[in-house]
């Protein structure tokens, strides 16, 4: 190939190059057969048909005042940010807040008991809780056993 890509290729090679580019395209995310754009345009009642029973039950019981205020802040942050940029993170203690399609693209600061963990909401997170993405404990890394862990380290009288 020369400096310009595809400048001196035969028609067959051009077709092969186009096919390779098509094959390299990323897989579009779908949630239960719906694309992200379709999910974003759905009302909460239409989303109910797609989610699992636990999530559906929670949504049917309605949003509490704190959850409504949180969603209002997310909408405001999205409206204020320039096109093509991420909105400012909204801090919250609501670890039991369901992630709904409207929240996709938002940034959350979810409190884990010590600090606010930054979470960027992606389409795969729909139907999960915000607390699932902000771990509240440090996972145990088992190292070498300590002094009192074996029978050989028990007290032996000196007679």
CATH number of the domain encompassing residue 128: 3.30.860.10
Pairing of strands 30-31, 90-92: unpaired
The string of pLDDT tens digits covering residues 63-99 is 899 999 999 999 999 999 988 899 999 999 999 999 9
Is 16 among the domain residues?
no
Asked if 80 contacts 87 with a C-beta cutoff of 8 angstroms, the reply is: yes
What does the alpha-carbon distance between residue 74 and residue 108 come to, in Å, rounded to a whole number? 9
Rounded-to-integer distance, Cα 118 and Cα 44, Å: 25
Question: What band does 7 get if pLDDT is binned at 50, 70 and 90?
Answer: low
Domain assignment of residue 126, given as a range: 25-133
Write out the two tokens for 146.
Answer: 């300590």
The answer to whether residue 38 sits within a structural domain is yes
| Count of domains forming the chain | 1
The confidence band for 3, taking pLDDT boundaries of 50, 70 and 90, is: very low
Within a domain: residue 156? no
- Non-local (6+) Cβ contacts of 127 within 8 A are 51, 52, 55, 98, 99
Q: Which of 116, 144, 126, 141 is nearest to 40 (CA)?
A: 126
* Residue 74 forms part of a structural domain: yes
| Number of continuous H segments (helices) and E segments (strands) in the chain | 5, 5
Please tell me the total number of residues recorded for the chain in this structure.
Answer: 159
CB-based contacts of 119, cutoff 8 Å, min separation 6: 107, 108, 109, 110, 130, 133, 134
> Would you say residue 139 lies in a domain?
no
**80 domain-assigned:** yes
The span from the CA of 80 to the CA of 72, in Å, is 12
Mean pLDDT of the chain: 86
Would you tell me how many other CB atoms lie within 10 Å of the CB of residue 18? 11
Nearest alpha-carbon partner for 59 in 96, 34, 27: 96
Residue 33: is its pLDDT beyond 70?
Answer: yes
Residue 15 placed within a domain: no
Question: What does pTM read for this prediction?
Answer: 0.71
Closest to 95 in 3D by CA, of 138, 64, 136, 123: 136
């Amino acid at each position: 190939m020369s400096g310009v890509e595809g400048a001196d290729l035969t028609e067959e090679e051009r077709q092969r190059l186009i096919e390779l580019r098509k094959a390299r395209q990323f897989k579009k995310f779908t949630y239960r057969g719906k694309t992200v754009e379709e999910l974003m345009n759905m009302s909460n009642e239409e989303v109910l048909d797609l989610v699992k029973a636990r999530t559906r039950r929670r949504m049917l019981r309605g949003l509490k005042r704190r959850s409504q205020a949180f969603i209002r802040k997310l909408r405001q942050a999205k409206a204020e940010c320039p096109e093509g940029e991420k909105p400012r993170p909204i801090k919250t203690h609501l670890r039991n807040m369901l992630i709904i399609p409207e929240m996709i693209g938002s940034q959350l600061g979810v409190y884990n008991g010590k600090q606010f963990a930054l979470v960027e909401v992606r389409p795969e997170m729909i139907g999960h809780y915000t607390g699932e993405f902000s771990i509240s404990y440090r996972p145990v890394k088992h190292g070498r056993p300590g002094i009192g862990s074996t029978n050989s380290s028990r007290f032996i009288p000196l007679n």
